[in-house]
Structure 1
């Protein structure tokens, strides 16, 4: 089994959410939230701001912890062909500066402010669903029901 801890930014502004397009090695693309893996000895609180900057060109500040999503992806579905657990830590992040641009030499491209009403029509990661659900409901436990994948929603 592989394991990953990641931090994701939910940036909301005037009815829009900041998304990036992830490009898989196969060339397949999926919309997702800015964020990614927490490096060894890095605090997830710092990782989410680093990832926001790397993937979008923006600087930001964490406004609050939204919650944590832990999911296991079966070997049959996981990209590496082995069972994988992803622990995603979601933060509400406010953009404070910088200039929107694509990630330099990375797997994410086309950072875009997307109207929330248009998200449902996009081929997107389940991270988007979970991040928006946490931001909209602010559950006291910080836990949201795992989003089923399939159709336009991918792992």
Structure 2
């Protein structure tokens, strides 16, 4: 079994009861997610969140607070045989848009960015991170974990 570790940073941007989302390109079809993604080697997580939001949405954001850290562990088959033991560490920040223009990423891991009404989120095909992050934003647990 191959062990895989991925550390990623994401931003929750809420404005007028809307949340900024990006649509990820997945093998089984598109899923909405938060703007964000994996850290480059040596990159600070806060800087990664700001960079990823810009890449995936066209916006410049300012991080206002750390909301929490979520971990994910799952097992899945590897394409060339065997199995992977995946451990994801997802760092979630609250952020606000301070510049830029909404744009869609070209040639990356997402293909669409949009402001989505919060009451429409439950109807979206989405990753679990959206629900986790919105609950972190709502609850603001002092230990950063639900």
Q: TM-score band (shorter)?
A: over 0.9
Residues paired across the two proteins, number: 142
The two structures have a TM-score, normalised by structure 1, of 0.87
Runs of 4+ in 1 over 2 A off after TM superposition: 78-81
User: How far apart are the structure 2 equivalents of 1:53 and 1:7?
Assistant: 13
CA 1:44–1:79: 2 relative to 1, 3 Å: farther
Q: 5+ unaligned residues in a row in structure 2: which ranges?
A: none
Provide, for residues 99-133 of structure 1, a one-character-per-residue CA deviation record: whole Å limited to 9, x for no partner. 00101211202101001100001110011011101
Matching residue within 2, 10, 13 for 1:11:
13
Aligned to 2:30: 29
User: How far apart are the structure 1 equivalents of 2:14 and 2:140?
Assistant: 14
Deviation at 1:71, TM superposition (A): 1.3
User: How far apart are the structure 1 equivalents of 2:88 and 2:46?
Assistant: 17
Higher strand share: 2
Aligned to 2:66: 65
Q: Secondary structure at the residue paired with 2:84? A: coil
Q: 5+ unaligned residues in a row in structure 1: which ranges?
A: 145-155
Deviation at 1:82, TM superposition (A): 1.1
CA 1:123–1:40: 2 relative to 1, 3 Å: same
Aligned to 1:122: 124
Structure number with greater Rg is: 2
Q: Secondary structure at the residue paired with 1:129? A: helix
User: How far apart are the structure 2 equivalents of 1:23 and 1:110?
Assistant: 9
